Amino acid sequence: MDSESPLSELLCFDLYAASRSVTSVYRVLLDPLGLTYPQYLVMLMLWRHGDRTVRELVDELRLDYNTLSPLLKRLEARGLLERRRRPDDERSVTVLLTDEGRALQEKTRDVPKAISDAIGLDDAVIADLQEALRTLASNATAHAAHMSTNTAK
Amino acid sequence: MDSESPLSELLCFDLYAASRSVTSVYRVLLDPLGLTYPQYLVMLMLWRHGDRTVRELVDELRLDYNTLSPLLKRLEARGLLERRRRPDDERSVTVLLTDEGRALQEKTRDVPKAISDAIGLDDAVIADLQEALRTLASNATAHAAHMSTNTAK
DNA sequence: AGCGACTACATCGCGCACGATTTAATCGCG
DNA sequence: CGCGATTAAATCGTGCGCGATGTAGTCGCT
């Protein structure tokens, strides 16, 4: 974008651009399956770890209810999953896969390799990158929370 | 999120989460100014480099017309900029700052430092991170373009 | 000059993100 | 037990992101 910005603002722009570019790769792969990237993340959780409450998905994917609620509704409408109120706590909703939802997993078999190829970085670089991103996200999230509670500077 | 995914898919998730966390920091900073992060990026370009055509903004911010067109319309509606058809090429639209748009720059003086603090990484790490992200984005964009033109595997 | 290809931009539709608000169920504490 | 506080989830509104489509304006080629 630029050359005279402070380093951290340039980084943020690169992060923003990189994230969108990765999503666009997922789009190419997932569109034939009728899934978006966030939807794929939900399906991944269910395939790997079985039934989850909406709250667990919120925590694990770091998305909000207001993003997940309609997203789950769409996945349910497509017949991939079912939402069921918990009998022991009527506030909670358990999300569970249908047979069709389970069957879809097979069609995603080649996704990880395709992503790995598209990224084109070797594992050592990826590991470093990942650690830096996690630190960054953790710092930023904490900072944002703190800043918005403190009205004053 | 997980521990048994291939490394590159985990990285993508971290990238996605990190990008949103950074945006949330910008939100805290920019909301009092009535700007979103993408809007701030446009204003940055205009503050630093002066008048731009829509096409130049598309290229420099790597956003599409269908994202920028309504965004610029909103900024124009707020009186921060003006859109003007070029006389020499009636297809092009030049975007230029109003006095109010120029005046807004001063209120963003503390943003870079606040971002730097929120990120909480030292410059060496940031530089590495940035290079990896640029390589990744460049690879991914090329790959996505290639994959979608090739219908066959 | 004429016409097809290309370009710059706009518009539409859909699915996120996310702040704000609402509803219903459960918990905690006197 | 009763009632205020908390929690889980849903809904609404706004602004991206982006595929698909539409519309002028310009270029290239004969």
Would you call B143 an interface residue with chain A, using a CB distance cutoff of 8 Å?
yes
Stretches in chain B below the pLDDT threshold 50: 151-153
Which pLDDT belongs to residue A152? 39
Tokens for B24, please give them.
Answer: 């949330």
Which pLDDT belongs to residue B1? 60
Which pLDDT belongs to residue B2? 65
pLDDT single digits (tens) B32-62? 999 999 999 999 999 999 999 999 999 999 9
Whether B100 and A107 have beta carbons less than 8 Å apart is answered as: no
Tokens for B102, please give them.
Answer: 């120029």
Residue A38 has pLDDT above 90, yes or no: yes
**A66 contact to strand C (CB, 7 A limit):** yes
| Domain architecture of chain A: domains with CATH | 7-120 (1.10.10.10)
Question: How many degrees, rounded to 5, is the angle at CA A68 between CA A142 and CA A112?
Answer: 85
Q: What are phi and psi of B152, to 5 degrees?
A: -70, 165
Whether B32 and B25 have beta carbons less than 8 Å apart is answered as: no
| Mean residue pLDDT across chain A | 93
Mean pLDDT of A86-98: 95
End-to-end CA distance of chain B: 30
Tokens for A66, please give them.
Answer: 């207001």
Longest dimension (CA), chain B: 59
Which pLDDT belongs to residue B24? 97
Helices (H) and strands (E) in chain B, counts: 7, 3
**Alpha carbon distance B120, B60 (integer Å):** 27
**A81 contact to strand C (CB, 7 A limit):** no
Which pLDDT belongs to residue B152? 39
Q: For chain D, which bases have at least one atom within 7 A of a protein Cβ? A: 7-13, 15-20, 24-27
CA B62 to chain centre: 7
Question: Between A19 and A4, where is the model more confident?
Answer: A19
Mean pLDDT of A80-94: 95
**Alpha carbon distance B2, A140 (integer Å):** 21
Tokens for A69, please give them.
Answer: 């609620």
**Alpha carbon distance B19, A72 (integer Å):** 23
Which amino acid would we find at residue B15? L
Which pLDDT belongs to residue B4? 61
User: Alpha-carbon dihedral of residues B38, B41, B43, B46, nearest 10 degrees?
Assistant: -140
Residue A75 has pLDDT above 90, yes or no: yes
- Return all residues near A10 (Cβ < 8 A) that are at least 6 apart: A1, A2, B130
pLDDT single digits (tens) A93-135? 999 999 999 999 999 999 999 999 999 999 999 999 999 999 9
Q: What are phi and psi of B122, to 5 degrees?
A: -85, 160
- Asked if B9's CB is within 8 angstroms of A111's CB, the reply is yes
Measured in angstroms, the CA of B91 and the nearest CA of chain A are apart by: 24
Q: Checking DSSP bridges between strand B52-53 and strand B93-97, what pairing results, if any?
A: antiparallel
User: Which residue of chain A is at minimal alpha-carbon distance from B26?
Assistant: A144
Residue B94 in 3-state DSSP? Answer: strand
- Return all residues near B72 (Cβ < 8 A) that are at least 6 apart: B42, B54, B57, B81, B83, B95
Question: Between B4 and A22, where is the model more confident?
Answer: A22
- Asked if A130's CB is within 8 angstroms of B14's CB, the reply is yes
Residue A145 has pLDDT above 60, yes or no: yes
Which pLDDT belongs to residue B119? 96
Which pLDDT belongs to residue A137? 97
Which pLDDT belongs to residue A4? 62
